[in-house]
Structure 1
C-alpha cells in the first residue's frame, strides 16, 4: 500500500537501504555536490530530453513546499488549503515566512478540499485590500 502521510514517516525500500549501506563510508560532499546526485541529475535530464536543464534537489517537503509556493505566487497572492492540509498544520509557518498567506478552509469529510470550498475562499477575498487566492494546495490525496 502507498501512503503519502508525509515525507518522514515511512521506511526505505530494501534496495535503497542496500545502496546506502554500500556507499555509507564514501564521505561524499553534501548539498547535492556528490557523484550520486550528479548521476541522478543526469538521469533526470536524459528522461526529460533536456541535457541543458538545471536540476536541484531539496532536502525535505517543507523546503519544497515553501520554495514552490513562493515561486508560483506573486507577493499579494495566497494558497488555499484544507485546514488539516500539510501547509496549514505541519510546515511551522514556513509558507507564511515567505510572505504568503495560507487560507485554511474547513475540510469536507475525509479532509477533502472541494470545489465549493475553493469557491468560498475566493468569494471571501473580493477586493484589492485582501490577498488574492491563486493556488490550491492538495495534500495527502
Structure 2
C-alpha cells in the first residue's frame, strides 16, 4: 500500500543512502558553501534558464514556507489555505509568528476547491469592512495534501484562474511532491 500523508513516515531510498555513504567522510565548510551545494545551485539555475538566479538553501520545508510567504505578503495580508493545510496544522504557528494570519477554508478530501476560494474572495472584497480585516494576499496549497490526496491538473488550473482573477499568487508547497509523483 502506498501512503502519501507524511514524508517522515519512510526511510531514505537506497540510492540516497549510497550517495550519503560516498560523501560521509568528506570535510566541508558547511552553511551551503560546499561543492555539493555549489553544484546543486548551478543545476537549479540551469533548470530555470537563469545563470544569475539567486538560490538559497534552508534547513527544511517550514523555513522555506516562512521565507516565501513572508516575502510575498504585505504586513496587512494573510495566506489562504485549506483547513488541513500544512501551514495551518503542522508548522507550529511559524507563518503566524511572522505576523501573517493563516486564513483557513473548508476543503474536500484535503484539497482547496476553486469554487470555495472564488466564493471566499468575492465575499471578502464585497464586504464594506475589508479595510478592518486581514486581506487575503496569497493562496497556499500542498500536493500531495496532508491526507495524501493529489490535485489534478484541472484542479490546479482552476485554482490558478481564481488567483489570477484576484491578482494574488498561488504557492504550491511541493515538499512531498517527489513521493506523490
What TM-score range do you get, normalising by the shorter chain? 0.7 to 0.9
TM-score, normalised to structure 1, is: 0.86
Aligned position for 1:133: 136
- Are 1:80 and 1:137, in contact at CA under 8 Å, matched by a contact in 2? yes
Tell me by how many angstroms 1:11 deviates. 2.6
* Deviation of the 1:13 alpha carbon: 2.2
| C-alpha spacing 1:56/1:7, structure 2 compared with 1 (3 Å) | farther
Comparing 6-15 and 24-33, the one that deviates more: 6-15
* 1:42-101: CA deviation from partner (whole Å, max 9, x where unpaired): 122223232222211122110011111111111111111111110000010100011111
Partner of 1:121: 120
The answer (yes or no) to whether the contact 1:7–1:60 under 8 Å persists in 2 is no
Distance, in Å, in 2 between the alignment partners of 1:53 and 1:2 is: 36
The answer as to whether partners of 1:7 and 1:61 remain within 8 angstroms in 2 is: no
Report what 1:27 is aligned to. 27
1:7 Cα offset (Å): 4.5
Alignment: residue pair count: 140
Deviation at 1:27, TM superposition (A): 2.4
* TM-score normalised according to structure 2 size: 0.69
Cα pair distance change 1:61/1:6, threshold 3 Å: farther
Unpaired segments ≥5 residues, structure 2: 151-181
CA distance in 2, matches of 1:2, 1:45: 33
Partners in 1 of 2:45 and 2:78 — Cα distance?
A: 32
| Gap runs ≥5 in structure 1 | none
Q: Which runs of 4+ in 1 moved over 3 A?
A: 1-10
User: Deviation of residue 29 (structure 1)?
Assistant: 2.6
